[in-house]
Chain A
Amino acid sequence: QVQVVESGGDVVQPGRSLRLSCAASGFDFSSFGMEWVRQAPGKGLEWVGIISYDAIYKYYSESVKGRFTISRDNSKNTLYLQMNSLRAEDTAMYYCAKVSSPGTLVTSNFDYWGQGTLVAVSS
């Protein structure tokens, strides 16, 4: 069955870096775009960014552009989120999710979500 499992969340100091991973299984990872979404404690969903199936195209929210980088290793069925210059407002649960249709990038249709990994930015 399709599974995506996030890992790498931690407590980090402001200004530091952290890399999250998302291990995918049960589907042809190399054919699907993937996204990251975060949710601050008690708040709504906030889109972070999306990467195409071949990693050629990437889009980011304005709030993370220039600080966060999404990448993927299709040989390892793994998605990554490199987070630099972390701020207190980056504190959130981070979810990865699979794009529903193969080869699609311009979409908000995500059919499988992980359980999330928690990032806390605090001194």
Chain B
Amino acid sequence: QSVLTQPPSVSGTPGQRVTISCSGSGSNIGSNTVNWYQQLPGAAPKLLIYSNYQRPSGVPGRFSGSKSGTSASLAISGLQSEDEADYYCAAWDDSLNAVLFGGGTRLTAL
């Protein structure tokens, strides 16, 4: 069981705004930055959001990240069918000296 908690699934209609939450604790999200990864079906993970809210070059502006206390969120505005994927949050944990991944959230575009 992951120490970072994400909903197993979310869904939305094209054009809608959807959010994915990631809940942790003081030793991980509360102390370190959160990064988000997108994994398209059959592909390797890809860095989507880094340092809580920064977008790597090439990531569309409809993806945004935020963090407050021991929780973080990924928001997708103007959902597109190509956004159907698994999304993972990640953070370093100071107590475990380890990287923690959330359990992953499967996004479905209805």
Binding site for B on A (CB under 8 A): 35, 37, 44-47, 50, 59-62, 95, 97, 100, 106-111, 113-116
- Establish whether residues B100 and A47, one from each chain, have CB atoms under 8 Å apart when the complex forms: yes
Interfacial chain B residues near A109, Cβ < 8 Å: 33, 35, 47, 50-51
Query: Interface of chain B, helix or strand or loop or mixed?
Result: strand
Give Cα A62–Cα B92 distance, bound, in whole angstroms. 15
- Establish whether residues B2 and A108, one from each chain, have CB atoms under 8 Å apart when the complex forms: no
Q: How far is the CB of A58 from chain B (nearest CB, A)?
A: 10
Flag whether B98 is at the interface (Cβ < 8 A): yes
Interfacial chain B residues near A61, Cβ < 8 Å: 98
Flag whether B110 is at the interface (Cβ < 8 A): no
- Establish whether residues A108 and B99, one from each chain, have CB atoms under 8 Å apart when the complex forms: yes
Known A45-B101, A95-B45; contact A106-B92, beta-carbon cutoff 8 A: yes
- Establish whether residues B103 and A44, one from each chain, have CB atoms under 8 Å apart when the complex forms: yes
- Establish whether residues B91 and A108, one from each chain, have CB atoms under 8 Å apart when the complex forms: yes
Interfacial chain A residues near B86, Cβ < 8 Å: 44
